[in-house]
Amino acid sequence: MDLEFSIIYGCFAILSAAATVTTFVTGILFFYAGDQFGKLNDIASIFQVILMLPLTILFVQLLPDWFAVWAVLAALVGAAGMLISAYGQGLLVFERINFNRSQQFFPSGAAIGLWLLTVNALALASSLLTPVLAWIGVAAGLGYILTVIGFLRSGQSSPLFSIGALLLGIAYPAWAVWLGMILH
């Protein structure tokens, strides 16, 4: 991979981590301190997923050829989840839908989680990433999936939702920053 593109992908990884932390913090503030943090959370979550999109392309390029089909399928699933999530949040930010209607887009996070699980498992199997970094990525993907399962079972009050959100809120930024530093 060209060094210039590597640096660009690294910047996207780090920026997606920053947006994830912002989404995580403003989400907590929204649920505990009130509506004034809701709009900030919605905007941050758009950036969170849009900034991940280039990473789907990155792993298609970096994973060995024998994983090409899996890498492309994972990228398509992940990108679909990211775009659906950004679309739903965009509708909410621009007040085209209300908070309750925006929740129909929440399950798209499972596609993001599946992408993270898949690319990190492939990266682990091919020694593309260190085992620790790949397992942190797996944890981030699991966090996304647990958050969605918890949400579908009993909404934001579900302990599974909270556990998943905490796991993804810690693991994804750690993974993305570490990945970004490797790419720089």
User: In the prediction, which pLDDT does 44 show?
Assistant: 96
Surface-to-core class of residue 127, CB atoms within 10 Å of its CB (0-12 exposed, 13-18 middle, 19+ buried): exposed
Spell out the SS3 assignment of the chain: CCHHHHHHHHHHHHHHHHHHHHHHHHHHHHHHHCHHHHHHHHHHHHHHHHCCHHHHHHHHHHCCHHHHHHHHHHHHHHHHHHHHHHHHHHHHHCCCCCHHHHHHHCCHHHHHHHHHHHHHHHHHHCCCCCHHHHHHHHHHHHHHHHHHHHHHHHHHHCHHHHHHHHHHHHHHHHHHHHHHHHHC
State the Cα–Cα distance between residues 87 and 49, nearest whole angstrom: 10
Q: Which domain holds residue 140?
A: 3-183
- How many structural domains comprise the chain? 1
User: In the prediction, which pLDDT does 3 show?
Assistant: 59
Q: Is there a contact between 84 and 110 (Cβ–Cβ < 8 Å)?
A: no
Q: Over the stretch 74-123, which tens digit does the pLDDT of each residue have?
A: 999 999 999 999 999 999 999 999 988 988 999 999 999 999 999 999 99
Is pLDDT of 184 > 90? no
The C-alpha angle with vertex 108 and arms to 101 and 135, in degrees rounded to 5, equals 145
Compute the mean pLDDT over every residue in the chain, rounded to the nearest whole number.
Answer: 94
In the chain, the percentage of residues whose pLDDT exceeds 70 is 98
Whether the pTM exceeds 0.85: the reply is yes
